[in-house]
Each structure stands twice: as C-alpha cells, then as structure tokens.
Amino acid sequence: MLARVAQRVLEAYNRRDLDLVALFSDPEFEYRPGRDWVDGGLVDASYRGMSGYRRYVANADQVWAGQNWLTPRELVDLGDRLLILADGDMRAQGSGVPLSQEFALLCTLKRGLTITAQEYYDHAEALRVVGLS
C-alpha cells in the first residue's frame, strides 16, 4: 500500500497536482530541499505547510522551466519513516540543457501523513543517513 501511495504522490507532483500531494501531508508539514540547492542560493533551507511547499515547487519550476519529473526506483519502509529513491529528469530554463540526477526523499510520518520531508541528490547518501549503506 505504501508503494502505491508513494507512486501516486510522485505522479501528482509530476503533473503539479499539489492538492493531491497535500492530502498525504500533515498540516504542520515541513519540506527541506537538498543542501546543494540551498547552498547554491536557489531555494530556502525549509518550507512550512503546503503554502510553503507550493512556494518551493514554484521556485524549482522557475529554475527548471517547469520541466522537472521524478521516476520512482525503490521504496524503503522504515516504520515511521519512508525513503523514496527516484530518478530526477530536468531541463534548465535558460539553456534548455537536460539533466538527470538521483533523487531521494526521506519522509517522517505522523498518523500516516508526512510531517517532514528531506531531499537528497545521492541515493548512497540517503541510504547512509537511514543506516542502510
């Protein structure tokens, strides 16, 4: 069931149906982008609630001209946490250059809803963080 929900949420993200993503997020939801984007000054370190998450997606869409898709590869059920490993495919707005990158999202769950989500751009790093190197 978790795999099916994760698949649906990624599909909703890919078509920017953030109302559907919100159904699986706690009202106190916090989204933390990957350090590379934060350190590069592209996004803030943290976004709160769905309004904050919507701002994050809008910022990312500006960088990638709305061409940023995730394809799931693996789901790791860690009880109260869920690790989604995916492939990210993007196209830069200015140059049109395509980019493929590993993407991982570590979600902490509260009452079955995501309360925090942390991005990683390296599957090995995300697996190390959860103790599965």
**Confidence bin at 17 (pLDDT 50/70/90):** very high
- Side-chain-side CA neighbours of 118 within 13 Å: the count stands at 15
CATH code for the domain in which residue 73 is found:
3.10.450.50
Cα distance between residue 5 and residue 8, in whole Å: 5
Q: How many domains does the chain have?
A: 1
Predicted model pTM: 0.90
- Amino acid at site 64: W
Q: Is 33 exposed, middle or buried (0-12, 13-18, 19+ CB in 10 A)?
A: buried
pLDDT tens column, 90-107: 777 777 777 889 999 999
**Confidence bin at 69 (pLDDT 50/70/90):** confident
Share of the chain above pLDDT 90, in %: 70
- Domain span at 79: 2-129
- Residue labelled with tokens 């990210």: 88
